[in-house]
Amino acid sequence: MNIGILNIQGDVSEHYNFIKKLGKKYNVSPLMVKNNDDLDNICGLIIPGGESTVIYNFLIKNNMYDHIINMNKNGLYIMGTCAGAIILSENTSDERVKGMSLINIKIKRNAYGRQINSFIENINIKDMGNFNAVFIRAPEIEEYKNSELLSEYNNKPVFVRNKNVFALTFHPELTGNPKIHEYFIKQCQE
């Protein structure tokens, strides 16, 4: 079983290495995804954090945007972290990035300020416990509907789920804690 990492820009290798490390235990392999053919060989897709405008433009240019939406509707699991969550959202309030509407969240880009205002905060995640969450030019989920709230920080959702779609506003690949990747792998395998 392969877990795909969308290989456009951002924290690609960090997610790749994480899945590689967990591979033996869960019988999964990471696969770099750069085109629609790669998508046919995976059961879960991670859209990493990075720069959502760059990721968005690449997906449109390479005809991957609608294909990912269709694959998700046909059962593909997707986890979007930070910029990835922006890509999955319903409303970005920014015409440079149109969300895929795969999860009903309204999200605001760069809500905590610039790179220098990045921070690490200990959050509590449902069924997973404490997690050191790294927020880098993070977006804020302003509203969510028809989704399960898995974690919040400062009374704002930071991790929500809609069936086979997971949206996180922080970077789970940067602290060495495998819980979120393990959770995602297990969901993909169910």
Which residue numbers are catalytic? Answer: 82, 171, 173
Strand extents, DSSP E, the chain? 2-6, 29-33, 44-47, 77-81, 105-108, 119-125, 129-135, 140-144, 148-153, 156-162, 165-168
**108 part of the interface to ligand GLN, by CB under 6 A:** no
Question: What radius of gyration, in Å, describes the C-alpha atoms of the chain?
Answer: 15
Query: Of the candidates 63, 57, 124, 110, which has an alpha carbon nearest to the alpha carbon of residue 82?
Result: 110
- Interface size with ligand GLN, residues (CB under 6 A): 11
Bridge partner residues of 135 (DSSP) = 119
**59 part of the interface to ligand GLN, by CB under 6 A:** no
34-42, 58-66, 79-87, 177-185 -> range binding ligand GLN (CB under 6 A): 79-87
Options 3, 86, 105, 185; binder of ligand GLN; rule CB under 6 A? 86
Options 83, 88, 102, 167; binder of ligand GLN; rule CB under 6 A? 83
Q: Closest approach of Cβ 83 to ligand GLN, in Å?
A: 3
Question: Which residue, 51 or 182, is less far from ligand GLN as judged by CB?
Answer: 51
Q: Closest approach of Cβ 168 to ligand GLN, in Å?
A: 10
**14 part of the interface to ligand GLN, by CB under 6 A:** no
- Name the CA dihedral angle for 141, 146, 147, 153, rounded to a multiple of 10 degrees: 40
Q: Closest approach of Cβ 120 to ligand GLN, in Å?
A: 13
Query: Of the candidates 36, 43, 94, which has an alpha carbon nearest to the alpha carbon of residue 65?
Result: 36
**15 part of the interface to ligand GLN, by CB under 6 A:** no
Question: Which residue, 28 or 173, is less far from ligand GLN as judged by CB?
Answer: 173
How far is residue 38's CA from residue 80's CA, in Å, rounded to a whole number? Answer: 18
111: its two tokens: 């809500």
Residues found near ligand GLN in the complex (CB under 6 A): 49-52, 82-83, 86, 109-110, 136-137
